[in-house]
Amino acid sequence: MIDKIKTLISEAEAFHTTSQQDLEAFRIRFLGKKGLLNGLFAEFKSVPNEEKKAYGQAINQLKTTAQDKVNSIKLELDKKSDDQGVFGDLTRPGEPMAIGSRHPISIVKNRIIDIFSRIGFNVSEGPEIEDDWHNFTALNLPEYHPARDMQDTFFLKSDSEMLLRTHTSSVQVRYMEQHKPPIRTISPGRVYRNEAISARSHCFFHQVEGLYIDKDVSFADLKQTLEYFTTEMFGKSKIRLRPSFFPFTEPSAEVDVYWGLETETDYRMTKGTGWLEIMGCGMVDPNVLDNCGIDSKVYSGFAFGMGIDRIALLLHQIGDIRLLSENDVRFLKQFQSAF
């Protein structure tokens, strides 16, 4: 009888399966209510007294071996089932990906580009390190011109003509030198001026300037373009143009949009007038056209320029321009999932 139990122990030790059904059959055969172990326990009373101790030990060993075998195989099959559930089911939703944040400057710049691209303006870019010709002289700002003092410039060396561009109008000069009219382009980019850093000003900021040159371009075309832009950008079409002076445009104007006085913030931003200055503009000076190789007697055009930072502060109600360049993650996360 003990030999029979030892045979069953060997059989239990050798058992292995990858099937839940086979494992359950093994468990029922050895450990079930009508299984081998209960049958062997029932035969215990017929075992001679001198063999009962060895018989009982053999039965307990069989029970332990069978139970351990069931537990180990079950654990292995459960692990495989979990792995299959995690990695094998292609219909499972993917792990959620953290959504990045787009910088408010990029948000505003992309909106401006999108608005002007709808009416045929392309995007042109140029170097941030410029020479005197493209940044000043070609734009009707010869050496010692008093208007140069309006833009405190970072020169690379005191005796050098190389500088950090003070506006993206230099890109327009390069574009006019390389392309023939009709020209319809906008030039977004970073510019530099030697100004004190405060909540309202910085030594570098971002501009986008527009240029349209063709035959018979008029000031009315400029105003219509600006009305379209302010409507699309701010949802407000009421604008006014105040006479101003820029060396590279004649006549020149400052553009105000009527923001309204509906809230306390409106009063603060517009200083109680309801009007908000957003850009400068004007008809391109004939001298600028001639400097760039375009016949000013045949072609005319208009130009405009605005600060991207200022519009970003306005649209997102940001109170300090320095936040735009400090890379504070807490600040940037406010624009998470923005387009």
Which DSSP string corresponds to 225-273? HHHHHHHHHHS---EEEEEEEETTEEEEEEEEEE--SSSHHHHHHHTTS
User: Are residues 317 and 251 part of one domain?
Assistant: yes
Q: What pLDDT band is residue 338 in, cutting at 50, 70 and 90?
A: very low
Output the domain CATH number for residue 179: 3.30.930.10
Residue 274 has pLDDT above 70, yes or no: yes
Residue 331 has pLDDT above 80, yes or no: yes
pTM (two decimals)? 0.68
Q: How far apart are CA 56 and CA 105, in angstroms?
A: 83
Q: Is 38 left (phi over 0), alpha (psi -120 to 50) or beta?
A: alpha
What value does the mean pLDDT of the chain take?
85
> Residue 93 domain-assigned?
no
Q: Is 4 in a helix, a strand, or coil? A: helix
Helical packing angle, 49-83 and 20-31, nearest 10°:
160
Quote the pLDDT of residue 242. 94
pLDDT in tens, 135-158: 988 998 877 666 566 667 888 876
Which tops the pLDDT comparison, 277 or 50? Answer: 277
> How many domains, in total, are found in the chain?
2
User: Are residues 177 and 112 part of one domain?
Assistant: yes
User: Are residues 212 and 162 part of one domain?
Assistant: yes
> Residue 49 domain-assigned?
yes
Q: How far apart are CA 323 and CA 332, in angstroms?
A: 9
Quote the pLDDT of residue 334. 82
Residue 76 has pLDDT above 80, yes or no: yes
Quote the pLDDT of residue 30. 76
Residue 132 has pLDDT above 70, yes or no: yes
pLDDT in tens, 22-69: 888 888 887 887 777 777 777 767 777 777 777 778 778 878 888 888
Which tops the pLDDT comparison, 215 or 276? Answer: 215
User: Are residues 117 and 32 part of one domain?
Assistant: no
Identify the weakest region by mean pLDDT among 80-94, 100-114, 126-140, 271-285: 80-94
> Residue 295 domain-assigned?
yes
> Residue 259 domain-assigned?
yes
Which tops the pLDDT comparison, 191 or 93? Answer: 191
- The structure tokens listed for 39 are 């049958």
Quote the pLDDT of residue 41. 72
Helical packing angle, 49-83 and 2-14, nearest 10°:
10
User: Are residues 111 and 84 part of one domain?
Assistant: no
User: Are residues 225 and 198 part of one domain?
Assistant: yes
* % the chain with pLDDT above 70: 92
Among 300, 308, 320, which residue's Cα sits nearest to residue 251? Answer: 300
> Residue 95 domain-assigned?
no
Q: How far apart are CA 113 and CA 109, in angstroms?
A: 6
Q: What average pLDDT score do residues 210-235 get?
A: 94
Which tops the pLDDT comparison, 244 or 44? Answer: 244
CA-to-CA dists, residue 316 to 60, 113, 142, 259, 331, angstroms: 77, 18, 39, 15, 12
User: Are residues 163 and 67 part of one domain?
Assistant: no
Quote the pLDDT of residue 129. 93
| Structural domain that includes position 48 | 2-88
Question: Nearest 5°: phi and psi at 271?
Answer: 55, 35
Q: What average pLDDT score do residues 230-245 get?
A: 90
Residue 288 has pLDDT above 90, yes or no: yes
Quote the pLDDT of residue 149. 64
> Residue 7 domain-assigned?
yes
Which tops the pLDDT comparison, 43 or 224? Answer: 224
Count the Cβ atoms, other than its own, within 10 Å of residue 121.
Answer: 20
Domain boundary (88, 120, 150) is at: 88
CA-to-CA dists, residue 81 to 78, 86, 90, angstroms: 5, 9, 15
Q: What average pLDDT score do residues 196-215 get?
A: 89
Quote the pLDDT of residue 120. 93
Which tops the pLDDT comparison, 211 or 323? Answer: 211
Residues 6 or more apart from 233 whose CB is under 8 A from it? 111, 112, 115, 311
- Would you say 241 and 223 are in contact if contact means Cβ atoms under 8 Å apart? yes
Quote the pLDDT of residue 46. 76
User: Are residues 47 and 135 part of one domain?
Assistant: no
pLDDT in tens, 181-199: 999 999 999 999 888 888 7
User: Are residues 175 and 227 part of one domain?
Assistant: yes
User: Are residues 141 and 70 part of one domain?
Assistant: no
User: Are residues 119 and 67 part of one domain?
Assistant: no
Residue 85 is classified by DSSP as I
> Residue 231 domain-assigned?
yes
Domain boundary (88, 116, 144) is at: 88
Q: What average pLDDT score do residues 280-290 get?
A: 95
Quote the pLDDT of residue 121. 96
Q: What average pLDDT score do residues 308-330 get?
A: 85
Q: Kindly report whether the peptide bond that precedes residue 251 is cis, defined as omega within 30 degrees of 0.
A: yes
Burial 61-72, CB ≥16 within 10 A → b, else e: ebbebbeebbee
User: Are residues 44 and 182 part of one domain?
Assistant: no
CA-to-CA dists, residue 128 to 32, 91, 202, angstroms: 84, 50, 16
> Residue 113 domain-assigned?
yes
Quote the pLDDT of residue 83. 55
Count the Cβ atoms, other than its own, within 10 Å of residue 128.
Answer: 16
The HSE-up count of residue 127 (CA atoms within 13 Å, CB side) is 10
Domain boundary (25, 55, 88) is at: 88
- The structure tokens listed for 184 are 């319809």
